[in-house]
Amino acid sequence: MSAQNILNLLGLIINIIGAYMMYHYTPKVSSQTIFALKSEAEQMRKKDLGKNKMIRRGMLLLFIGFVCQFAALL
């Protein structure tokens, strides 16, 4: 297997993982409510921040995957 094929395969695998992370960790609309108690609101905010962090990581993986595929073309 050539270096091009390996880079292309690696890029595709990373893209799949990144897309799954973005899909799975998207914050749910139900976690945003104005009727929550102050302590519940703080817990929901922390949970949403964690999900947003995972979405950013997923986007980074997609970018890295595309760079690997681009490098395979060169």
pLDDT of residue 36: 61
Q: Closest by alpha carbon to 45, among 57, 54, 36?
A: 36
Average pLDDT value for residue range 33-52: 76
To the nearest 10°, the Cα dihedral for 47, 51, 56, 61?
140
pLDDT band at 35 (very low <50, low <70, confident <90, very high): low
CA-CA distances (angstroms) from residue 27 to 15, 20, 47? 20, 14, 9
pTM of the model: 0.65
Listed by start position, the domains of the chain span 3-73
